[in-house]
Structure 1
Amino acid sequence: MKHIAVVMILSLVAITACSNTDWRTASREPAGIAPDPVIEKSAVIEVYAADAFSWRGWFAVHTWVATKGIDDDEYTVYEVVGWRLNRGLPALYSYQTATPDRYWFGAKPKKLLSIRGDKAARLIPQIEQSVARYPWRDQYTVFPGPNSNTFPAWLAIQVPELELELPFSAIGSGYASEDTTATVPYQ
């Protein structure tokens, strides 16, 4: 009898977690945790993590990096998304936005790192140079990587002054290593 109750409870949890929302209608609204680029005139570097979509969020997060230069009115967001490969696009891409802290398909992001001012201004060119050398821009594998968590982990190795530490749930972050010296031009 206990086994049936346990199976029923686990089934109910699985069903509710897997049917919580459709990715097409899941929230992508700003979380309101990033400095407003119109107000914050200094340079900013931020790294975010949010639970992965659907049941994957029980185990893993998706991470991304945002930078804003001095007096810029928008952030540049860098992230790796595997489904871009299905469209013939690189997994690594960047885009401009005033809201780098958007929900990740229904999951509110957490700020893992925030650097402002002179240190951010000094590190942003190093981040940009590292992005240009990211060796897995056209690859994505959920496990063991490379994936969305491999990218910020690799940046942390390339730019140690970031002092970025990813959470245990950043599955794929261990794929990056200091031995990775490949260079790939970023487009």
Structure 2
Amino acid sequence: MRMRLARRLLLFFALAFLLPVASHAGWWIWQSHAPDWRRADWTSAKLLPAAAVAPEATIHVFAARVGRWRGIFAHHSWIVVKERGADAYTRFDVVGWGMPVRVNHREADGRWFGNMPELVTEIRGEAAERLIPQIRGAVASYAYSNPGSYLAWPGPNSNSFVQHILAEAPELRQALPPTAIGKDWRADGVFAGLTASRTGIQASLYGVAGLTVGWVEGIEINLLGLVAGVDLRSPALKLPGWGRVGV
């Protein structure tokens, strides 16, 4: 009985985790990538209009694949805000060198290591006006803003930072991509409680193993930072390596 259960668990791990990662790795190595950060394209992807053209308040969450072999597994995420009538966007993200929390470190909709950013969510108008002060407060309250506090795996990293903002402003009601490794990292190590959106529950062990069930987050199984599951709100599969595959 135990042997049968062990075999089923190994089969599930192979099909849900190893196979997607291996297939995405095979696809990834055939793509063209910048050899290093100096020669990578960091310019605007032209996803946002000029700030002066759109006077309303806006919030955008972006994610883009990270550089070189790490892009097989992971995205880097950041958040962009613009107050009503502002003539420029303000970008907040965390990096792994120097002071972790950066303001306008790159173009608001800039490529990351040459990779095209994806729009995770956006909010406009009065709703954005209400949420921007909460977002700025969450940036200011982020506890891991000192040099040396960044850790690529399991966290705190750039995705831990954006997840902190989502938790402090749950009205955003958005989940990061399943490939945003570090989003499930918790400062208290062993955690059980509400999801960032307050629409479900999560149990997490230092961000390297856990289970999340929520309307916004869907159902996610986290093993070593790799996430497999399903999106409930907008039906899709969540696959390690590939990310969200569906509508």
Residue of structure 2 aligned with 1:57, choices 51, 55, 71? 71
The AA in structure 1 aligned to 2:159 is: N
CA distance in 1, matches of 2:65, 2:101: 19
After superposition, residues 176-187 of structure 1 pair within 5 angstroms as 176=186
Question: Which one has the bigger helix percentage?
Answer: 1
Deviation digits for residues 129-160 of structure 1, max 9, x if unmatched?
11111111121111110000001101111110
Cross-structure match for 1:31: 45
Return the TM-score normalized by structure 2: 0.61
After superposition, residues 2-21 of structure 1 pair within 5 angstroms as 20-21=34-35
- Contact residue 18 and residue 54 of structure 1 kept, 8 A: no
Question: Which one has the bigger strand percentage?
Answer: 2
Once the two structures are TM-superposed, the CA of residue 36 in structure 1 deviates from its matched residue by 2.1
- Contact residue 79 and residue 93 of structure 2 kept, 8 A: yes
The AA in structure 2 aligned to 1:171 is: I
Higher relative contact order (CA 8 A, sep 6+): 1
CA distance in 2, matches of 1:159, 1:146: 19
SS at match of 1:33: coil
1:149–1:41 CA distance, 2 compared to 1 (3 A) = same
Once the two structures are TM-superposed, the CA of residue 21 in structure 1 deviates from its matched residue by 2.5
- Contact residue 28 and residue 72 of structure 2 kept, 8 A: no
Report how many aligned residue pairs link the two structures.
163
- Contact residue 58 and residue 83 of structure 2 kept, 8 A: yes
Cross-structure match for 2:118: 110
Once the two structures are TM-superposed, the CA of residue 38 in structure 1 deviates from its matched residue by 1.5
- Contact residue 142 and residue 161 of structure 2 kept, 8 A: yes
Residue of structure 2 aligned with 1:149, choices 118, 137, 159? 159
The AA in structure 1 aligned to 2:111 is: Y
Tell me whether 31-40 or 56-65 shows the greater mean CA deviation: 31-40
Gaps of 5+ in 1: 1-11, 85-89, 180-187
Once the two structures are TM-superposed, the CA of residue 172 in structure 1 deviates from its matched residue by 0.3
Once the two structures are TM-superposed, the CA of residue 95 in structure 1 deviates from its matched residue by 2.3
CA distance in 2, matches of 1:116, 1:96: 23
Residue of structure 1 aligned with 2:138, choices 130, 137, 140? 130
SS at match of 2:161: helix
Query: Is 1:40 the equivalent of 2:49?
Result: no
Return the TM-score normalized by structure 1: 0.79
Once the two structures are TM-superposed, the CA of residue 35 in structure 1 deviates from its matched residue by 3.1
The AA in structure 2 aligned to 1:137 is: S
Residue of structure 2 aligned with 1:166, choices 167, 176, 181? 176
- Contact residue 61 and residue 171 of structure 1 kept, 8 A: yes
Query: Is 1:83 the equivalent of 2:97?
Result: yes
CA distance in 2, matches of 1:140, 1:162: 25
SS at match of 1:121: helix
SS at match of 2:156: coil
1:173–1:27 CA distance, 2 compared to 1 (3 A) = same
- Contact residue 74 and residue 96 of structure 1 kept, 8 A: no
